Structure 1
Amino acid sequence: MEQSIEKKRFLKKISIISTFGGLLFGYDTGVINGALSFMTRPDQLNLTPLTEGLVTSALLFGAAFGAVFGGHLSDKYGRKTIIRLLAIIFFFATIGCSISPNSSVIIVCRFILGLAVGGASVIVPTFLGEMAPKNKRGSVVSQNEFMIVTGQLLAYVFNAILGNIFNNPGIWRYMIVIATIPAVILWFGMLVVPETPRWLAANGKDSKALEVLKKLREETEAESELEEIQKNIEEEKHLERVTFKDLCTPWIRRLILIGSGMAIILQAIGINVMMYYGTTILEQSGFGVKGALIANVGNGCMSVIAAFVYMKFLANRFRRRTMLLCGCTGTTLSMLGITIIGHVLGGSVLLPYLVIILTMIFLAFFQGNIGPVMWLVLSEIFPIKLRGLGMGICTFFVWIANFFVGFLFPILLATFGISGAFTVFIVIGVIAWIYTYKFVPETFNKSLEELQESFRNYKTKNFDVSSRD
């Protein structure tokens, strides 16, 4: 009994330390939400709608490349090593952003910061997925999503406190530099975290892999899982050199296309409109700057609550596809509600309060369904030798989708207003629901090796990746 408790504590320690990468991901994407209101001022960076979009989306563009190269590097050098490297990039790029003298410099620094954000978005879920036992994988991997939204909430809280207490237009620099603290914690914390057993076994370090597994599982379970991993590795020897040429294999190409499509569609429904421009949307609907900063904390709280509920109560109980379809329904209806009240109640004192309620409902459905489930499914569907690369490619498309959303939204908002801009995301939401229903595989309660065997033989076994079983 005591050993079992010790193993749970060890897994918890690993998940908390590694998900500081998710916390940084969340803070660095969320801090811009409040900082933009100060950056745009003439005595600061004097941003136009175009440069505002570039400052926001430069991080997303960098994240697209960080996702691809980060995943590939983690396959070669190990998940742990690359996470520590990302911590260094987080630290110095954050410093660069906070001292930027003009929009050009901060765009470059945000791009570099995005490399770390993209890398973390791929490697941390992969790291957690390879550490967790299959019956707890849903809740363990979803801890990263919980830490992401916690980071965003912390950004909103610090934005609100600093923006309301200090009457200083340059306060955005202090909002940004706070992110150096979790970067330091991540770097030192990863010194006491082991490499994943799957990566160790894939690189010929079976004894070390078993040693790590025994710290996380009962002895017989650890030995059985290592045998399963070794069998899977033996079957994939033809993929010894992981390159893009491996995507010519039909079943792998099929998974890449499914994963990439899911990544694009489920991110393009508008989550990062809320994450990056929540304060701007609330200002447009009728709040003042300080009021919008405070109201936006409500969005952050809802995101954390929804992610917590999923992690603790839903992750290991409900099928992945069901959760995704529920999330797409809720987010699309929320966008529809915002569009309708924008038309009907334009200029009304009720408008800003109804908008904040509907954005919170949107976030509840996304962070409690779509966000954690999407990353979980992506972490599950690829074989060991291609897991980093496969996650990297799919996450590249996550960030490319986010880049276009982040870049175009200020222009859409300035041109068409809230209602017109949100109509685009209603259409995307409908497409996302249809795509999920037709193509997204069900991975609930299956080991990574079982999934790989099923996907590899989907033709000979008449395996349908959109199976509802």
Structure 2
Amino acid sequence: MEISRSTYIYCLCACLNSCNLGYDIGIGTQAGRLIQDDLGLTRVQRELFVGSIDFWAMFGALSAQYVSDTYGRRKTFLVAATGFIFGVVITGIAQTYSVLMLGRMLVGLGVGVGLAIDPLYIAEISPAKHRGELVTWSEIALNVGIVLGFSMSIILAPIADGTEWRWMFFAGTIMPIVMIALVLKVMPESPRWLVSKGRETEAFEILQTIYPKGYDVDLVVHDMKEAYVRDRAVEHAAGWQIIWNPTPAFRRILLVGIGVAVAQQAVGIDSIQYYLLDVLEKSGINSEQKQNLLLIFLGMVKLLFIVVGGKLFDIKGRRPLLFISLIGMAIALLMISITFFIASSTSSGFIIFGLGMYLAAFSVGMGPGAWLVPAEVFPTSIRAKAMSLSAFLNRATATLMASTFLSTANAIGWGGFFLLLSIISLLVLGFLWIYLPETKGRSLEDMSTYFAEITGDNSILEAEVRISEARDPAVELSILKKSQRTTDREVI
């Protein structure tokens, strides 16, 4: 089944939020040093400034669950965009360190909410056959934002020193304002959320705009409702109980989904991106113009390979892409480490090549995969909660890495630091090799049963039997006839 025009539009709208997140990372790479010079920050204050956005994003991610489950996916986008607008304006006008950190707090809360909602929303409106490609759009958009952020130093070069970084943040109000307009005028609510609230008629109307004309949408609504009932049947209590006391299948799902999200930051991506200028300077490149051009070049490399990865996830599968990604990163980080240990006149060239290889390898697998896997393995009944927890722990790991990057590199040496990251990449590879099953082509409604079969979780399998026994035979016959007519049936 082809992707409908409406699905493309809705996914692109959601991706603008990711682009906004990436823009903040991009300008943060350069603004950190500019602010340090302008406001006279210490090295520790700069590290706290850089790491604070991830710290507050942890709490934004947790709050996303309540907003998303209670008020819907669309309103969650509004919350994220509003936090961004207030945050970047306060950061841009800050004259003291305390006001600066207040702005970062609001931006961080918006980042956390955005990270939790973007892949979730796209996964819930995407056909299973194309979900891998469409969910990776959010990572592509994030990197478009990073490149835009990297480019701001060149765009704003004519502006006087001391105000350049302020205009970088002020420009960050444009995308969230557009995002608010799109949510209010273009984006529909998630059909799955509507079904979970008993609003099948509204879900049916939205699904008709997503699927091709003539497609039997009744089948889609039926499977959504049935899967939700099945997942709720195995919950021990309301709220977070299924997270803290999961059945075997849910435990494996949580281990995989949350583990991949944490691993994405454990390999050092955000910390390296935030301090790329420092790495380039340590490699011997001192020209500000060369540094800015290299930032844009590395950003374009990362963006290019994310597009490649997005295309391959639905062709080659999740496991192969993630394994190739981690092996490539481990080799690249080892190359950078060795180059720092044996510093020579050609060191800068090898380090630039190693950074490009690292970013390319990350983008092929771990970049988009770290949000694709959680978005598709978590069942509807816990998806918002589990995505929030994944984003929380993802940002917690990012906070630890970003706020200790310079201190750790200075303590154990830059060669030692990149060697440590190489080892972590190999450990993550071992973890995914053992615990991650292949999920390519499976519908979201099938995930809990799939993991139940893998783990032998009788609670979910028995719930499936009870649901089957409770079905009306006449309804089942009708559904069977419809499914026979729809041979290319897919559940989004």
- For the residue of structure 2 that corresponds to 1:275, the secondary structure is helix
Residues 109-135 of structure 1 show CA distances to partners (whole Å, capped at 9, x for unaligned) of: 212211111111111100000001111
Counterpart for residue 391 of structure 2: 395
Q: Are the equivalent residues in 2 in contact too, given 1:58–1:108 (CA < 8 A)?
A: no
- For the pair 1:48 / 2:45, whether they are aligned, the reply is no
Q: Are the equivalent residues in 1 in contact too, given 2:55–2:108 (CA < 8 A)?
A: yes
Shift of 1:24: 1.0
Structure whose CA Rg is larger: 2
Shift of 1:57: 0.6
Distance 2:389 2:66 in 1: 9
Counterpart for residue 97 of structure 1: 91
Counterpart for residue 174 of structure 2: 181
Which of 262, 265, 268 aligns to 2:266? It is 268
- Kindly tell me the number of residue pairs found equivalent between the two proteins: 453
Which of 246, 250, 273 aligns to 1:249? It is 246
Shift of 1:338: 0.5
Distance 1:419 1:297 in 2: 24
Percent of pairs identical after alignment?
25
Shift of 1:421: 2.0
Residues 263-300 of structure 1 show CA distances to partners (whole Å, capped at 9, x for unaligned) of: 22232111112321111211121122332122111111
Counterpart for residue 305 of structure 1: 304
Counterpart for residue 65 of structure 1: 59
- For the residue of structure 1 that corresponds to 2:314, the secondary structure is coil
Whichever residue aligns with residue 302 of structure 2, its letter is S
Q: Are the equivalent residues in 2 in contact too, given 1:265–1:431 (CA < 8 A)?
A: no
Residues 3-53 of structure 1 show CA distances to partners (whole Å, capped at 9, x for unaligned) of: x98x72211111111111101111112211011221121xx1222221111
Distance 2:297 2:271 in 1: 16
TM-score (norm 1): 0.92
Q: Are the equivalent residues in 2 in contact too, given 1:200–1:209 (CA < 8 A)?
A: yes
- For the pair 1:223 / 2:221, whether they are aligned, the reply is no
Counterpart for residue 147 of structure 1: 141
Distance 2:164 2:175 in 1: 20
Q: How does 1:33-432 map to 2 (within 5 A)?
A: 33-41=29-37, 44-162=38-156, 164-191=157-184, 192-218=186-212, 219-238=214-233, 239=235, 242-247=238-243, 248-250=245-247, 251-288=249-286, 289-311=288-310, 313-346=311-344, 348=345, 350-432=346-428
Whichever residue aligns with residue 227 of structure 1, its letter is H
Distance 1:180 1:362 in 2: 31
Pick closer, same or farther for the CA change 1:404–1:139 going to 2, 3 Å: same
Q: Which moved more, 1:258-267 or 1:239-248?
A: 239-248
Residues 431-456 of structure 1 show CA distances to partners (whole Å, capped at 9, x for unaligned) of: 11111111123211100111122224
- For the residue of structure 2 that corresponds to 1:101, the secondary structure is coil
Q: Are the equivalent residues in 2 in contact too, given 1:37–1:280 (CA < 8 A)?
A: no
Shift of 1:198: 0.5
Distance 2:139 2:87 in 1: 23
Counterpart for residue 473 of structure 2: none
Residues 387-416 of structure 1 show CA distances to partners (whole Å, capped at 9, x for unaligned) of: 000111111111111000000101123334
Distance 2:428 2:219 in 1: 39
Whichever residue aligns with residue 231 of structure 2, its letter is E
- For the residue of structure 2 that corresponds to 1:154, the secondary structure is helix
Q: Are the equivalent residues in 2 in contact too, given 1:49–1:414 (CA < 8 A)?
A: no
- For the residue of structure 2 that corresponds to 1:123, the secondary structure is helix
Structure 2: 5+ residue stretches without partners: 459-492
Residues 63-84 of structure 1 show CA distances to partners (whole Å, capped at 9, x for unaligned) of: 1111121133201110011101
Q: Are the equivalent residues in 2 in contact too, given 1:20–1:186 (CA < 8 A)?
A: yes
Counterpart for residue 466 of structure 1: none
C-alpha RMSD of matched pairs (Å): 2.0
TM-score (norm 2): 0.88
Pick closer, same or farther for the CA change 1:362–1:221 going to 2, 3 Å: farther
Q: Are the equivalent residues in 1 in contact too, given 2:87–2:104 (CA < 8 A)?
A: yes
Distance 1:276 1:331 in 2: 18
- For the residue of structure 2 that corresponds to 1:315, the secondary structure is helix
Structure 1: 5+ residue stretches without partners: 463-469
Residues 167-216 of structure 1 show CA distances to partners (whole Å, capped at 9, x for unaligned) of: 51331111122110001110001112100110100101001111111111
Q: Are the equivalent residues in 1 in contact too, given 2:55–2:399 (CA < 8 A)?
A: yes
Distance 1:431 1:458 in 2: 23
